[in-house]
Chain A
Amino acid sequence: MKLLNYTTSYFALILIFLLSIWAVIFYIEILDEIYDSMDDGLDNQKMLVIRKAAKDPALLKKNTFDEGNFIITPTSSKTAEKFTDAYRDTLMFMENEEDFEPVRLLESAFRHEGEYYKIKVITSMVEEDDLIKELFFSLIWLYVGLILTILLLNNFLHKKVWQPFYKLLRSLEKFNIEKDTEIKFGSTKVEEFQLLNERIDKLLKKSVESYTSQKEFIENASHELQTPLAISINKLELLAENSSLEPQQMEELGLILNNLERLTRLNRALLLLSRIENRQFADEETVNFNQLLKQINLEFEDLASHNSIEVDVIETAELQYNMSKDLARILVANLLKNALLHTPAASRVKVEIFKNQILIQNLGEKPLNPKTLFSRFQPGKRSHSNGLGLAISKAIADRYNLEINYDFRDNLHSFTINF
């Protein structure tokens, strides 16, 4: 959920709740006031009628509303004494409107010269009714308008206030530690954002620094390892050559040599990886992948035929791409070698070259985990692999913005490079 939607939804919820309560209270309050004023009017009218009736006893016999707005009926003292003033809403047939109209009615009792009377005074509520209706709708409009205004304002303010934040987010999104060393911050007057920018700047600088030093460390370490490795391997080679060792000791020596050589290959692979990442292969040329793949296939011929593996190179199109020839070779050679080493004996490996794609396919039982497949040190079952081959291919692909994909279908591992 976006920050804006988050605050907006909160705002809307709270506003709806608060404004509803407020609107109801307001409505009731106004309604009450209207009734109050009507009732006061009725009360006043009642007093006037009673006062008038004192002078004009004929009024005491008026028991229809015909032309007046009151009726007086005699009543017993018992009911009159218990009687309290009562106001209520009712409907009454109006001659002019020829319809029942809402009226407010006051019922009261009074005593005149020892006689008890009941009096009903009415007043039309037509206008008041309209007023209430009007009031209700205005309230609704006001309510909707208010909510909309507040939400729009919030939206607008939010965008304005949080602009430096979004700017920062956008540049962070684009930031790539392998390519960029710095990030551009927009200026802001808000102290919190200034602090945020400052902190992130510091953090990034620190990360870039440690990233570079780590890269350099790997490269330097690999370099430094070369000489002691060379010395050890050569010493053992000379030892094996010079001395008349027992076959068993010779075998042990061979084992040590094999492992040192494994270490050498690992070291070379690490060095290569950091070189690719440090972009130390600058010279680019047009590489013909058809030729390259055929040539690599030839180099692997003996390895393949040793395990009775057949490699089909299918060329559906000519594929050329501008990149370092050494890296192009490593990129495809690693994938092909990977296929050759992992396909079961006496099976086929398919290499297909399209206009913008290379497909390398070999038989397999289970799908590999595509998430970890290209990460470093994810060796397969066989221990001779240093687990860096695919990582190197991936690094090369990344270096040239090529896409390298893995798919498993119908017991076939498929690696594709998209150019």
Chain B
Amino acid sequence: MHEPLIFEHSQPGRRAPGLSEARQSALNLPAAFLRGDVPALPEVSELQAVRHYTRLSQLNFSIDTHFYPLGSCTMKYNPKVCNQLAMLPGFTGRHPLGPASHGQGFLSCMYELQEMLAAVTGMAEVSLTPMAGAQGEFAGVAMIMAYHRARGDDARREIIVPDAAHGTNPATAIMCGCEVRELATGPDGDIDLEALRQAVGPQTAGIMLTNPSTLGVFERQIQEVARIVHEAGGLLYYDGANLNAILGRALPGAMGFDVIHMNLHKTFSTPHGGGGPGSGAVGVNQRLAPFLPVPVVGKEGDKYRWLTETDRPQSIGRLSAFMGNAGILLRAYIYMRLLGAEGMRRVADFATLNANYLMARLASAGFQLAYPRRRASHEFIVSVKDLTRETGVTAMDFAKALLDEGFHAPTTYFPLLVPECLLIEPTETESRQDLDAFVDAMVAIRQRAFQDPEAVKAAPLTMPVRRLDDVRAARQLDLAWPVEQSA
């Protein structure tokens, strides 16, 4: 199926409904400020636009249409009601700079969300402003640095990051002006404690950890890790990417973490939206609370108000023009009210049940696990490196062949330290039947790899396009219509 560009549907002079010409007159401004040409936007009817973007949508895989076991991304069902209620005109129509006295409904939701997120993470206070996980990470590291600076401890500029960490972790540390020290993982997936003892010192600002880790296992020595880092004078940062695995089962605050970010678009089921908006709320313990990004919602008596730089003079400042992705925060709030305390614990329970079931079934079907002696958290890693050696079929080929079978591919080639890996996260909202069908597809592809490896390497064949020429995409840049004629 091929859908032309919207520009190719365009005809000069065609219009969708809008403001009538009767209300128009020229701008009352000097000509030097005005635009002389007409920007080349498409000219289409409303039906043409609706049909075009509906047809484009049908070229996508999504949670609503396909099982989407993308490891580390928590592609669970996004309840329809969360979107519908967050789009109520009272919420969408509220101006961000409107008076707090006339925004008590919205502010009460945000205050309660702060309280609930603090409760599920075991932290003292929460700021909702970071607009994605990476910005939450930025806020976290910036707070760690502000804490050391406030104590005159300026030599602490090094952030320790495990080699299995998300790429955002080291990139964030650099944005905060820190240096990065990589830490090796032990053979069983836990941190190498001896390497950690060697790494910490008076230069240590902190460590960034995901727990359960990106290897899909719980870091069993987390209390000892916390002790080593704290005794060296550093702080612990929790990357909340995998919070779904322990919701209602364990609290990062109790593990010894000083600061945490939460990916509300993962654990609290706000939409991924084709790559955003995310939401990366941060939680802190008491010692970092003065440094939280502003604004935060405060409560005085039964009234809610914004706490700003005036109330929080040590704040690391503002990370968005207003208060972050408010509408996404509302969706997370609605989701938490629907689930409640019991429902949140069920999230971790059934995400973990599904992951361990899928892992057990794939293992018994002959797939090689990266950590066969460990429990899966809410995700686990399969490595196809033996298959690659025997047949030439790689993890990427496997991923593409799964698309033809009607499944979105798992995350491939991450974490970097496991060769030819597939990181598989089924989430709690998938049924046993769907998991079984996925196993059947994996087994079928594996058989095909032995019988006819070229067929697997040719996949996908049923998608709107076959494999794309990425080299050409990068060398012969075509980033806008019409094609730019420059370098």
A and B together in one complex: no
Chain A residues within CB distance 8 Å of chain B? none
